[in-house]
Copies of this chain bind each other. A is one copy, B any other.
Amino acid sequence: MFKLIIAIIRDSDANPVIDALIGSNFRATRIASTGAFFRQGNTTLIIGVDAEQVDNAISVIKSACGPALADSSHRATVFVLPVAKYEQI
């Protein structure tokens, strides 16, 4: 089974997170996006992973994100979506 991870991270974390994902043999697609609050830029990553690798991928993302700027703020938001079909052409 395959899963699709959509991770919304801070721009400042984008390069370290992508490098860490590649270093762990994950493949990510990067999209420039904007947060609703304050319209600050952020980065949306699309990562296809085997179901049993989901926790590992999230752990890699977590380790590569810099510290939160405030106690109440989040560094990343992660959605894991079920995939009905996955195909490489």
Contacts and interface: CB of A to CB of B under 8 A. Distances in A.
Contacts of A80: 83-87
A75 B46 contact: no
B89 A61 contact: yes
Q: How many copies make up the complex?
A: 3
Q: Interface size for chain A: under 10, 10 to 19, 20 to 34, or 35 or more residues?
A: 35 or more
Contacts of A84: 3, 80-82
A65 B32 CA distance: 24
15 contacts: A3-B84, A4-B79, A21-B36, A27-B35, A29-B34, A44-B46, A58-B89, A65-B89, A75-B89, A76-B89, A77-B88, A78-B88, A79-B85, A79-B86, A80-B84
